[in-house]
Each structure stands twice: as structure tokens, then as C-alpha cells.
């Protein structure tokens, strides 16, 4: 059977624990971690914090969904979309990995998906990826990854993107 990326919903602050346990059981998974600096009274320290709170991605065939759910009491359920476990495209998982390798202190903004101009990224971690542009402010470009419903924010030059045909409005904004 074909392996797909599913989203597991975990108890609060159990993402890394669930990821380690799934790995121990031989279940391919990914818990995206954000490098961020935390301030204590006496020191600053770089720590790895899950970027998607209470989410771990698992790469499994659909017949193993029940097995994953039974792997830990810290797993609440799968995330569902239209009555079925939500599936995330391979290229979006790869793009999250590339994005987090390149940037630290990444912030997420939850947004509902709206039809905006479609662009194609010409360089950087989202090379050749098409997405919807949310806004352009100075050199900050906001891209939407459709199946996740999150907006990842990166500072990049406007020259790193190209308007896909029928993207007339974005072309006017750049000019």
C-alpha cells in the first residue's frame, strides 16, 4: 500500500515524546521543531520547540492508522478533514523541512484559505513551489501552504518569486 502523510493530534506538550515513541515502534514520523531562543533569569538558551502544537506527522499506509493510534495514550486522534483522516502532500512536508532548516524563530499564523494570486517561487527553500501570496511588505513575503491551512512567513526578496499566468494583481503590486 502507498504511504501517505497523516496528522496525529497529541496531548499538549507531548509532541516530542510521541515522536520518539513512534520512532521506537518503527513508525516513520516527523515532528517539525523550531529553533528558538528562550530567556531565563540567568541565561539564554537555544531550544527546539514543536512548531505545530499538538501535531506529529506520520508516514504510513492507511491500514496502519489504528496501530498508530494505539501506540501511545498521549495520542488523542488523527486530524480529520471531511470525515477522513487528513492527508498532507509529500512536497509540503519536504518544504516544511527545508524551511525549518533555513530559518529559526519561525512563527505560524492560522489563516483560512482564500483564493489569492498564485505565484511560483524561483529560489530558496520553496524552489518551484506554487502557492498563494497573502501579502508583500518590504521584503517579507507570506505564502500559504493550502492543505495545512497555515501561513509560513519568510523574508525573501520580491525578485525570488514569479507570477503565474492570471496573476495580474500581484504583478501590479510589484511594479
Residues 63-79 pLDDT 10s: 999 999 999 999 999 99
Higher pLDDT pick, 154 / 59: 59
Mean pLDDT along residues 36-47: 87
Domain-wise residue ranges, the chain: 3-88, 108-174
Q: How far apart are CA 55 and CA 151, in angstroms?
A: 16
| Mean pLDDT of the chain, nearest integer | 78
pLDDT class for 160, splitting at 50, 70, 90?
low
- Range from 28-32, 45-49, 127-131 carrying the lowest mean pLDDT: 127-131
Q: How far apart are CA 131 and CA 89, in angstroms?
A: 13
Q: Which CATH class is domain 108-174?
A: mainly beta
Between the alpha carbon of residue 96 and those of residues 4, 70, 92, the distances in Å are 16, 27, 6
Tell which residue, 69, 72, 59, 3, has the closest CA to residue 31.
59
Looking at residue 62, its pLDDT comes to: 93
Helices and strands (H, E) in the chain, number of each type: 4, 15
Which triple of cell numbers denotes residue 164? 503565474
Q: Ranked by mean pLDDT, which of 44-48, 99-103, 118-122 comes out on top?
A: 44-48
Looking at residue 24, its pLDDT comes to: 95
Tell which residue, 51, 49, 55, has the closest CA to residue 9.
55
Looking at residue 39, its pLDDT comes to: 87
pLDDT class for 175, splitting at 50, 70, 90?
very low
Fold adopted by 3-88? Alpha-Beta Plaits (3.30.70)
pTM check: above 0.85: no
Amino acid at each position: 500500500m502507498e504511504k501517505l502523510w497523516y496528522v496525529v493530534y497529541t496531548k499538549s506538550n507531548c509532541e516530542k515524546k510521541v515522536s520518539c515513541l513512534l520512532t521506537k515502534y518503527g513508525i516513520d514520523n516527523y515532528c517539525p521543531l523550531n529553533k528558538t531562543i528562550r530567556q531565563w533569569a540567568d541565561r539564554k538558551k537555544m531550544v527546539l520547540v514543536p512548531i505545530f502544537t499538538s501535531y506529529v506527522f506520520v508516514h504510513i499506509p492507511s491500514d496502519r492508522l489504528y496501530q498508530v493510534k494505539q501506540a501511545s495514550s498521549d495520542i488523542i486522534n488523527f486530524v480529520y478533514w471531511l470525515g477522513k483522516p487528513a492527508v498532507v502532500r509529500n512536497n509540503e512536508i519536504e518544504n516544511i523541512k527545508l524551511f525549518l532548516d533555513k530559518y529559526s524563530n519561525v512563527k505560524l499564523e492560522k489563516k483560512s484559505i482564500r483564493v489569492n494570486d498564485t505565484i511560483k517561487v524561483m529560489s530558496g527553500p520553496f524552489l518551484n513551489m506554487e502557492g498563494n501570496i497573502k501579502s508583500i511588505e518590504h521584503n517579507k513575503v507570506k505564502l500559504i501552504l493550502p492543505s495545512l491551512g497555515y501561513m509560513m512567513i519568510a523574508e525573501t526578496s520580491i525578485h525570488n518569486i514569479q507570477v503565474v499566468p492570471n496573476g495580474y494583481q500581484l504583478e501590479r503590486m510589484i511594479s
